[in-house]
C-alpha cells in the first residue's frame, strides 16, 4: 500500500482543524519591595513635615498662648486694678494713651481716623476687644499708610494720631501696651493677633460701633435747665 505523502506545511492535520494551546498563566510576585519602599519614604516625609511644622510654629504658638512673656516690650497692667464704669464727660487718665479705666458709655467706631479721637470713647471699644493704634502726628506718611493698611476694615482695630504720646507708635489693648518706632516692626501684627479680642478683654464679642466723630468726648451730660424761682405763696388771711 503506497504511503501517503506528508501533509504540506500549513495544512491542518487530518481529523479537523488544529487547536491552539491555552496560554500558560504566569503569576507575578507581589511587589513587596516597592510597597515597603513607598511606606518608608512616606514615613520619612511625614516626619520631616511634622518636625518642620512644630519647630516653625513653636514661636507663633508661644506668642499667642503667652504673649505677655513672648512679645518683647509689652507693658502689663493688672486688669483687676482698672475701673470700667460708664461716666459722663472727660476723664483724667494717668497714662497717654490709657489702657483702661472709666470711660464713656458710647464706644468709638473702629476705623482709621486722621484726627485725634476721645480716649473715653476709644477705651470703651478696647473694653470690647479692640486694639487702638496711635501715632505721633509727625510720623512719616508712608508709616501712617502702612498702619492704615494693617487696620483696614477690621471691626476690632482703630487708629488715630495722638499728639501727646511719647513714642512714634503705640498699640494699646485693655491692660496691655506696646511702644514701637516703626510700622514695619513684626510686633505690630503679633500684638494684634494676641490681644485683639484677647484674654484681657472684659466684654469679648461686644461691637465696637457708636461714635464716629473726632475731637473731644461726646455724650457729656447736658447742663441742667435753669429753674425759675417759684413765686412766694401768700400766707392765709387771718381774721
Given a contact cutoff of 8 angstroms between Cβ atoms, the answer to whether 72 and 91 are in contact is no
Q: Are residues 49 and 125 in the same domain?
A: no
**Which portions of the chain are predicted below pLDDT 50?**
44, 48-55, 57-58, 220-235, 238-239
pLDDT digits (tens, 9 = 90+) for 155-167: 999 999 999 999 9
C-alpha cell at 89: 464727660
Predicted local confidence at residue 57, as pLDDT: 47
In-domain check, residue 207: no
Predicted local confidence at residue 38, as pLDDT: 63
Cα–Cα distance list, 199 to 66, 76, 175, 191, 207 (Å): 10, 13, 10, 12, 17
Q: Are residues 49 and 140 in the same domain?
A: no
In-domain check, residue 235: no
Q: Whole domain around residue 112: which residue ranges?
A: 70-195
Residues listed for the chain: 239
Q: Are residues 61 and 115 in the same domain?
A: no
pTM above 0.85, yes or no: no
Q: How many domains is the chain partitioned into structurally?
A: 2
- Cα(238)–Cα(11) distance, rounded to whole angstroms? 163
Q: Are residues 48 and 92 in the same domain?
A: no
Q: Are residues 57 and 162 in the same domain?
A: no
Burial 200-226 (b: 16+ CB within 10 A, else e): bbeeeebebebbeeeeebebeeeeeee
Q: Are residues 53 and 104 in the same domain?
A: no
Amino acid at each position: 500500500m503506497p504511503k501517503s505523502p506528508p501533509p504540506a506545511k500549513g495544512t491542518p492535520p487530518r481529523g479537523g482543524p488544529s487547536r491552539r494551546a491555552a496560554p500558560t498563566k504566569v503569576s507575578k510576585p507581589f511587589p513587596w519591595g516597592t510597597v515597603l519602599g513607598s511606606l518608608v519614604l512616606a514615613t520619612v516625609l511625614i516626619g520631616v513635615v511634622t518636625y518642620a511644622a512644630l519647630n516653625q510654629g513653636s514661636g507663633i504658638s508661644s506668642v499667642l498662648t503667652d504673649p505677655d512673656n513672648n512679645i518683647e516690650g509689652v507693658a502689663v497692667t493688672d486688669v483687676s486694678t482698672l475701673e470700667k464704669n460708664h461716666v459722663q464727660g472727660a476723664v483724667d487718665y494717668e497714662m497717654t494713651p490709657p489702657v483702661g479705666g472709666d470711660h464713656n458709655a458710647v464706644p468709638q467706631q473702629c476705623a482709621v481716623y486722621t484726627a485725634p479721637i476721645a480716649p473715653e470713647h476709644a477705651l470703651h471699644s478696647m473694653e470690647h476687644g479692640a486694639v487702638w493704634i496711635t501715632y505721633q502726628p509727625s510720623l512719616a506718611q508712608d508709616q501712617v499708610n502702612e498702619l492704615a493698611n494693617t487696620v483696614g476694615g477690621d471691626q476690632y482695630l482703630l487708629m488715630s494720631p495722638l499728639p501727646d504720646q511719647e513714642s512714634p507708635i503705640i498699640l494699646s489693648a485693655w491692660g496691655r501696651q506696646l511702644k514701637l518706632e516703626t510700622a514695619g516692626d513684626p510686633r505690630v501684627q503679633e500684638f494684634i493677633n494676641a490681644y485683639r479680642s484677647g484674654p484681657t478683654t472684659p466684654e469679648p464679642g461686644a461691637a465696637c460701633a457708636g461714635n464716629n466723630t473726632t475731637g473731644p468726648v461726646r455724650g457729656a451730660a447736658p447742663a441742667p435747665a435753669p429753674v425759675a424761682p417759684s413765686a412766694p405763696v401768700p400766707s392765709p388771711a387771718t381774721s
